[in-house]
Structure 1
Amino acid sequence: MLRKTLFGWMAMLLLAGCTSDQQFRPENLAKRDLDFVTDTHIQQLDTLLKSLMKKLYLRNPRELSKTADATIESRIDLIFSLPPPLIFDELGGKESIDAMLLGLDPEYQGDRVFAVMVGLAGMLDQAYDNKEEFFILDTLDQQKLYNSARNLEVLAWRLKTRVDTNGTLLLLTNHLDPADPNLSFERLFGKMIALQDNLAMIVSQRNGRTINLILHGLATSFLAI
């Protein structure tokens, strides 16, 4: 058994050396398997968030026009080029859930897409304790990860239901025309929810701690992170 285990580890090391030479960093020696998994989840979330932000601007170009000389790329870079926490003067210092609520307030006159995305990205950052990379001494809270997944569900629902005084949606997302449906927003949210739920389960099993579950569909308000 020991001999097989040693051969297994040797094979893994050789495979890693053959495929990841250019990606190896000395810092990686201070990482566990869970840290690599967590880093991958964070990278995937960032990719999905950027795609969501771009789609929201394309569906709601009036929001982009509220900021002089702004482009979709410049607004995306403004969020994702900064380390957490994400705090901006144009949002009155509001972040995380408060920024999302601001963006979906019928009285708000600013860039709703920016407010929602600052809030969403900040809320997810908080689920990872505002860390952009994980190492052996870092820890994760399975409940925060689980709650963030429920908050994604709440946001997806609110985007489809929040309207102004004229009954017009504050932000357009899915296009439900039977002749030409577009459910790309649903798919993006579904992927992010699955990522957070998956990692919450992994961390729960690793920590030996249970998650306080909420029955599917019952979360209609944002949960604390």
Structure 2
Amino acid sequence: MRPPPFAPARLTLLTGLAGLALAGCYSTASVQRGQTPVAPLAPTELAQSDVNRMATLGMRDNLDSLLRIADKLYRRNPAEWRKTSAPSRDAALRQLRQAIEQQTPWPELQGKRDIAALSLALGPDFSGDRVAAFIYASADMLKAAHGGKTEVYLLDALDAQHLYNAARNIEIAVWLLSSRRNAAGQPLLLADEISEHDRNLSFEREFGKIIGRLDLLAEVLTEKYRRAVISYVQNLLGASFVQFLPVR
């Protein structure tokens, strides 16, 4: 009986060879301000296309960005994490990270998901931990736009329009965060600050990264299908003109 195409031994060999190839890559560019991180090669990547891998890395980075925003919001709005049972800000962040990673429903969102949860978290009358609710709802919305997945493989389908819409949803959420007021007339959450003495736009930059990643992935997906059509036509035309002539 023939062994399966990707037997464990072959998979290990392929992974090892690819790892050696990555190790042999180097750059002469300056690294004084850090380097581009290179993730270790995982066997599951053999089931991913370039676009699949891009979507997976983008999702990972977007969730990390949301958690960094949560940390910043908790620092500027300590009253929010104190609404929880967490003994400290770090503990509240750990609870939030665990809920996002394990996709555990957030109780204060009343079972609502993605954009419905986002609307509730940014409602003027919301009285719970608004930081956690907002970040959890944003993460859930991003997952929904990726077909409910955080890792994308060959059999998974991504919708470019859903990703584009997710980017616009983040823009709307940022605008609501900065312009909407609660019942007491105060901002929903303190975020970016511009004053005579201080200029803190770190929230805007982090949100901008998320929006940029989503827009780029949506454009790449759209271009992927457009290029597939062009390649098909090119191959079709080429088949008519680039042919060997009979010799007998």
> TM-score band (shorter)?
0.7 to 0.9
* Alpha-carbon contact 1:106-1:165 (below 8 Å) kept: yes
- 1:207 is displaced (CA, Å) by 2.5
Q: Deviations over 1:150-184 (max 9, x none)?
A: 00100110000111233211211111113211111
Alpha carbons of structure 1 residues 73 and 96: separation in structure 2 relative to 1, 3 Å: farther
Give the drift of 1:27.
1.5
Give the Å deviation of 1:196: 0.4
Look up the equivalent residue of 1:151 and give its one-letter code: N
Aligned residues: 198
Whether 1:96 aligns to 2:102 is no
| Percent of aligned positions that are identical | 35
Counterparts of 1:200 and 1:132, CA distance in 2: 16
Q: In structure 1, how many angstroms separate the alpha carbons of the residues matched to 2:122 and 2:59?
A: 25
| Alignment partner of 1:31 is 2:48 | yes
The one-letter code of the counterpart of 2:58 is H
1:85–1:18 CA distance, 2 compared to 1 (3 A): same
2:134 counterpart of 1:128: no
The answer to whether 1:65 aligns with 2:82 is: yes
Alignment RMSD, CA only?
2.4
Alignment gaps of 5+ in structure 1: 1-11, 210-225
**Residue number in structure 2 paired with 1:203:** 221
- Taking structure 1 as the reference length, what is the TM-score of the superposition? 0.79
Counterpart secondary structure, 1:81: helix
Q: Deviations over 1:30-82 (max 9, x none)?
A: 11111111111112112211111111111111111111234333333334334
Cα–Cα, structure 1 residues 17 and 190, in superposed 2: closer, same or farther, change >3 Å? Answer: same
- 1:45 aligned residue: 62
Conserved? CA contact 1:124–1:148, under 8 Å = yes
Compute the TM-score of the two structures, normalised by the length of structure 2.
0.72
SS of 1:165's equivalent in the other structure is coil
Between 1:73-82 and 1:129-138, the stretch displaced more is: 73-82
Determine the structure 2 residue equivalent to 1:214: none
- Alignment partner for residue 114 of structure 1, among 105, 108, 132? 132
Is 2:22 the counterpart of 1:16? yes
Q: Give the unaligned 5+ runs of structure 2.
A: 1-16, 26-36, 228-248
Q: Is 1:141 aligned to residue 159 of structure 2?
A: yes
Cα distance in 2 for partners of 1:151, 1:21 equals: 30
| Residues 140 and 182 of structure 1: CA distance in aligned 2, closer, same or farther (over 3 Å) | same
Give the aligned residue type for 2:218: A
Deviation, 1:86, is 5.0
> Equivalents in 1 of 2:207, 2:82: separation in Å?
25
When residues 180 and 74 of structure 1 are mapped into structure 2, their CA distance, relative to the original with a 3 A threshold, is same
2:212 to 177, 194, 202: 194
Which residue pairs with 1:153 in the alignment?
A: 171
- Tell me, in whole angstroms, the C-alpha distance in 1 between the residues paired with 2:38 and 2:117: 41
Q: Which structure has the larger Rg?
A: 2
Tell me the distance in 2 between the aligned counterparts of 1:22 and 1:121.
22
